[in-house]
Every structure is written in C-alpha cells, then in structure tokens.
Amino acid sequence: IYVGKAKNLRERVLEHFMGASRDSKSQRLTSQLRRIEWTETAGELGALLLESRLVRELQPVYNRRLRGGESYTWLIDDAARAPQLHRLDGPIPAGIDAFGLYRSARQAKTALVNLARDHKFCLRVLGLEAAGSGSCFGYQVGRCTGACVGEESMARHGARLKLQLASLKLRSWPHEGPVAVEEVSALGVRHWHVIDGWQYLGTVVADEFDQRADRVPSLSSPLEGFDADAYRILCRHLKPGARNLRPWPPSP
C-alpha cells in the first residue's frame, strides 16, 4: 500500500510509471499495483491531514517517513519540582508547558539524561535518579551544580532547564476550546476541519455545518489520540487571527 496526495492525481500516478525504469521504489510500486482509490479534499490542509490519518491507520510500507508515533512529552509545571513524563492520548494539556515529542518513554528519558549531563542539571531533581540523603551522584563527580544540596535554587535550576528546552517547546493552544477551520477548493468544495489542543478531531462537510441543527454535525475521518504529524501540519497552516475559524460546535 502507498498513500500520497497530489494536486493532479493523473500526473502524479504517471510520474510513478515513468520513473519505474530508473527508480527501484517506483518499479516495485507499479509492478504490485492492483487498484487505485482516491478521495477529493477541499485543499492542501485537508489532503495533508487525510494523508497523515491513513498512513497512521494503514502503516503502508512505502510511507515509512510519515508513520509518526511520537506521543510522549515532558510537562513542566512551575509548582512541581520534577518534569512529568506524559503520554499524549488527546489534546495537549492546557496551562502547562510541554516540551519535545518522543516515540517512547525510554527515548524521552534518554534525551533528558543527555541534556542534564551537558548542562549539569541534577538527575535527582529531575526525577531521573532515586531519592536519597545528601548529594546526588552527579554532584560528587562535577556533573551537577548542586540543586540537590541547596547550592543552586530550585527556581534557577527550573529556569535553566526551560531555557535549554525552549527549542522543543510545543505551541500552546491559542483558543478557549475546539475550533473549525474552513477550507474551500477552486471548484467550490467546502470542508470544515475540527481541531482542539492541536489534535485533529475530524472533518465536516459544509452542508452539515451550515444547517445549524440542534444536533452536533458528525465528524468524518475522526482520529483517536494525539498525532505528531497532524500537530506539525496544523502548526504550519493555522495562522493567528485567521478569518476562516469558527467555534466548535456551531451555535444553533
């Protein structure tokens, strides 16, 4: 199985056939071809979100680059001493800073340990070393600036940590709740993509959205859990102050 998007589907398919003589991937793909299925979207955003969902669901062998799976992040609450490892099963939690996207808890912990060693953070304060009396092991060998023994304040330690993690900070959701993003094609196809906390919840066709019925319009192509690929897509396409946004669900 191969999943792909294109502005001109016919041209894109022909490119695979024409490239079969010089590209081993295209050759394998065309030799195994039995059926082509296609879905029309209202634009680039809808196509990218649909592609991401199908790749995640079908796990096609020719789409390894887009398989995603990064669902772990570090949450840092100023009221807590240690970062909390969190698995994203839905929208990014509001009101708490989240840093990094990782495929596994092990990968997330390894990344934080490496950061601690490079910048002399205390592994005990970070919750990565068992609690005990006295200093941590890192302090004894010159790899900790002393947050565990009071030589560095917790406030300074936390501020340094956030500074080093700044490039990995996930974007805060700028809306009070879910929103629907309008997308219209050149031929008049109109869809609304429903988003909450950078999680793509699904798509509504324009007719259902505009009915203003008592019931909430049903979402097609719903996604379960957090999708890192969809998060990156939405961060690129959702602009502050955009006029094609409405609150979700629509008012009756």
For β-strands 179-184 and 97-102, DSSP reports them as unpaired
Instruction: Give yes or no for residue 18 having a pLDDT over 90.
Output: no
**Can you say how many angstroms the Cα of residue 118 is from the centroid of all Cα atoms in its chain?**
27
Q: What is the pLDDT of residue 110?
A: 97
Q: pLDDT at position 222, please? A: 55
**pTM for this model (two decimals):** 0.78
| pLDDT-above-90 percentage for the chain | 40
| DSSP characters over 25-71 | HHHHHHHT---------SSHHHHHHHHHHHHHHH--GGGGGG-----
